[in-house]
Amino acid sequence: MGAMRRMRKVSRQQVLAGLMAVSVISCLTWREGFGWPRETLAPLLAPLSHGLTYAAGGIRCNVRDLLGAPLDDETARRLLADNEAMRRELMRYVDDTLRRQVVFYQQQYAEQQQQLAEMGRWRQAFEDDFPCMLIPATVIAYGPTPYQRVSRVRTGKRVGKGQFVTTRSLLTNRPTAIPGAPRAVLSGAAMVGQIVASGAWTAQLQLLTDPDFHVQAFVKRVYDPRKQRKIVVDEVVGDKVVPVTRPLGPDDAMIPVNLTGDLERMVSTAVPGQQGLEVGDYVVTMGLDARLPVGIFIGTVSAVRVVPDNPKHVTLEVKPAAELELLREVYVVVPLVRGG
């Protein structure tokens, strides 16, 4: 009877306090290696509202396996076969994904190596006479064919179907604008245009073929000793200067011309016809402006046409050396000289 009276004196608060103490002790002492006592006491220590959750979990984990029918051999083999097929499909997908990533990174590496090689060649060509900085850039704004392109040109108008786009948008590696525009732009082989505007990470390239592009250049006549190529030069005879016709020599001077873009090509008008210019002659930069040194390849003469109202002069058509339709990686030339 005395024991019963002592049990009746235990209040609900004391019971809850004891359970909480047991819970704290179990968390501190059974953290590792004694998970089963904690799992056993967890339903008793949890609030009553969680009782159904523990019951449902127990049924799901244990009762289903006990009451469910065992798998027959055929079903088990079919499940194993399905799992193996899914595993092979997953491995094939992983292999294809990794293979595509490897190819992508190989292409990126090859492009970077090509870019470094091209920059090295240009730096070697400029090192002695033309110290400069080369800024790599990537062409980002044009479609795969001329008829799919929609871009802004000189006048700000939209380009329609069949028209030529003579500007390109570039992505650079500079967080600031390129200093001192306009700046000459090179591809891996030749000059392709100039920068007319730039900002953080971007720049606008004006191609050689833009009608607003102008450059002073030299035409280097190709000398072939097997071919008698006649030119007319002024020579002093007595006290007079008279024109004399003679064969072209290997040391004859280059012919200065002024080139202007003409959408598909470049042209130079009113060139003296007596210079003996022919299709295939090389056109290079003159080097009189601060953009580039002398001798950078521009293109080749593609046509020589006599001016109708002035037969003593010809119009030259020059095909750019670079494939402007396929431009991707270019280099902006920033001279490191005073005034450049």
Which residue from 256, 265, 262 is spatially nearest to 221, judged by alpha carbons?
256
Note the pTM of the prediction, 2 decimals. 0.59
C-alpha dihedral over 67, 73, 78, 80, to 10 degrees?
80
Question: Per residue in 2-13, is it b (16+ CB within 10 Å) or e — as a string?
Answer: eeeeeeeeeeee
Quote the pLDDT of residue 158: 47
Considering only 55-59, 274-278, 294-298, which range has the smallest mean pLDDT? Answer: 55-59
**Tens-digit pLDDT profile for residues 117-159:** 766 666 666 655 667 778 889 898 654 444 334 344 444 444 4
Residue 147 has a pLDDT of 39
- Residue 42 — very low, low, confident or very high, per pLDDT cuts 50/70/90? low
Confidence of residue 267 (pLDDT cuts 50, 70, 90): very high
pLDDT digits (tens, 9 = 90+) for 213-262: 999 999 999 888 888 888 888 777 778 878 888 888 888 888 999 999 99
Question: Backbone phi, then psi, for 214, in 5-degree steps?
Answer: -135, 140
Q: In this predicted model, what pLDDT tens digit does every residue of 315-339 receive, in sequence order? A: 999 999 998 888 888 989 887 754 4
3-state secondary structure of 290: coil
Alpha-carbon gap, residue 261 to 269, rounded angstroms = 12
Distance (Å, whole) CA 135 – CA 122 = 12
**Four-point Cα dihedral 249, 252, 255, 256, nearest 10:** 170
Q: Which residue has the higher pLDDT, 14 or 218?
A: 218
